[in-house]
């Protein structure tokens, strides 16, 4: 695995990103309620914690899990209260680890190819469909359930990649593992978290930064400058815009 660089901060500037022309024009995205943003953050944190526990459980087995998971968020705002649905993709591990920016680029290219192929036959491709889409599992969705954004759960940390960390991890260490997450939603909301381990002296001491207000069970800090890898932010935003054109 190529050692990734982890720059301290990144200012997300969507206007500088060149995006593909949508095959299916979409309306200008409306601002999402703070409660929807917060629920997406809550679910992403839960996915990351579960990701860590399951990765530890399968460490050293032929079913060992990869360090990165994709999360797609959808919401039915006609329901009262609103209903957030989550679809996830978590693959088996690569022997040498997996480069996250390269993974996002590959997913974006695959999605774009699928969108074009469906468009040529007069159909629409839904990335939230297990196996046929980008995901392996999905909460139930209805025709009113609209895709609103995505996230990455990763077991890489700012100090070391999972490929190195896992050498000292046993199946009993799931609750002792931290993780990171990047979220990007259709209204430009971006959130980063460094999730603390679930046990030990630092349990619950998460770092969460968002560029817009959220109503969450956690207490994020608002800042337009977001921590994390700039290449991951760019790849996540580009993939999101591809999926918005589906």
pLDDT tens for 164-187 read: 999 999 999 999 999 999 999 999
pLDDT tens digits along 189-243: 999 999 999 998 888 899 999 999 999 999 999 999 999 999 999 999 999 999 9
Q: How far is CA 37 from CA 83, 89, 146, 152, in A?
A: 12, 21, 14, 15
Would you say 193 and 45 are in contact if contact means Cβ atoms under 8 Å apart? yes
Residues 144 and 66: their CA atoms lie apart, in Å, by: 32
Handedness of CA 152, 183, 102, 138 (dihedral sign): positive
Quote the pLDDT of residue 97: 67
Total residues belonging to the chain: 246
Looking at residue 96, what is its pLDDT?
Answer: 61
Per-residue tokens: 129: 């469909």
CB–CB of 226/13 below 8 Å? Answer: no
This prediction has a pTM of 0.87
Contact 84, 43 (CB under 8 A): yes
Task: Indicate whether 149 pLDDT > 80.
Answer: yes
- Look at residue 10 and tell me whether its pLDDT is greater than 80: no
Q: Do residues 206 and 194 lie in contact, with contact meaning Cβ atoms separated by under 8 Å? A: yes
Predicted pLDDT at 124: 94
Provide the pLDDT for residue 208: 98
Nearest to 54 by CA among 226, 174, 188: 174
pLDDT of residue 18 exceeding 90, the answer is no
Classify burial at 239, counting beta carbons within 10 Å of its beta carbon; exposed 0-12, middle 13-18, buried 19 or more. Answer: buried
- Annotate 130-171 with DSSP letters as a single string: TTTSS-SEE----TT-EEEEEEEEE---SS--HHHHGGG--T
Mean pLDDT of 149-177: 94
pLDDT in tens, 43-102: 999 999 999 999 999 998 999 999 999 999 999 988 888 999 999 999 898 766 689 999
* Domain boundaries along the sequence of the chain: 31-244
């Amino acid at each position: 695995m190529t050692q990734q660089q982890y720059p301290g901060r990144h200012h997300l500037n969507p206007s500088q990103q060149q995006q593909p022309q949508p095959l299916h024009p979409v309306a200008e995205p409306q601002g999402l309620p703070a409660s929807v943003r917060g629920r997406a953050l809550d679910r992403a944190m839960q996915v990351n914690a579960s990701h860590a526990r399951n990765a530890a459980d399968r460490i050293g087995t032929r079913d060992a899990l990869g360090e990165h998971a994709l999360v797609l968020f959808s919401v039915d705002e006609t329901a009262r209260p609103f209903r957030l649905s989550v679809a996830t993709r978590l693959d088996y591990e690569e022997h040498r680890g997996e480069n996250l920016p390269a993974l996002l680029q590959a997913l974006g290219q695959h999605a774009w190819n699928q969108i074009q192929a469906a468009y040529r036959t007069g159909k629409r491709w839904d990335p939230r469909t297990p196996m046929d889409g980008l995901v392996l599992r999905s909460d139930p969705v209805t025709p009113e359930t609209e895709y609103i954004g995505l996230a990455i759960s990763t077991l890489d940390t700012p100090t070391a990649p999972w490929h190195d960390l896992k050498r000292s991890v046993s199946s009993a260490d799931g609750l002792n593992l931290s993780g990171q997450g990047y979220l990007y939603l259709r209204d430009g909301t971006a959130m980063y978290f460094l999730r603390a381990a679930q046990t030990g002296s630092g349990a619950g001491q998460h770092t969460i930064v968002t560029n817009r207000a959220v109503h969450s069970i956690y207490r994020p800090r608002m800042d337009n400058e977001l921590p994390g890898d700039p290449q991951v932010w760019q790849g996540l935003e580009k993939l999101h815009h591809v999926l918005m054109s589906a």
